[in-house]
Amino acid sequence: ASYEFQVNGKRILGRKTKWGTIEVENTTHCEFAYLRDLLIRTHMQNIKDITSSIHFEAYRVKRLNEGSSAMANGVEEKEPEAPEM
């Protein structure tokens, strides 16, 4: 849930119903916390591998191919101009 509510002075994520507020992080109200923990534990290495091999490499290739000017540490380097005679 993307809604924040103030309950007993605490900010919680959840949703309101006519019966009260359902707290997403409260395991007596919802199984979301269990599901999130399970998915993160079982898929963390896969998430790391995909982030590195696909997303970062695509970003790196895009940055290397941008424009014809040389970039070093995010600062454009200009080619030295030939002195006028």
Segment 42-76, tens digit of pLDDT = 999 998 998 888 889 889 899 999 864 555 555 66
pLDDT score of 25: 84
Is this structure's pTM higher than 0.75?
no
The DSSP string of 40-84 is: HHHHHHHHHHHIIIIIIHHHHHHHHHSSSSEEETTEEEPPPPPPP
pLDDT averaged over every residue in the chain: 80
Q: How far apart are CA 57 and CA 61, in angstroms?
A: 6
pLDDT of residue 79 exceeding 80, the answer is no
Q: How far apart are CA 7 and CA 16, in angstroms?
A: 11
> Which tokens sit at 69?
């000017």
pLDDT of residue 39 exceeding 50, the answer is yes
Task: Determine the average pLDDT of the residues in 17-35.
Answer: 86
Q: How far apart are CA 14 and CA 24, in angstroms?
A: 5
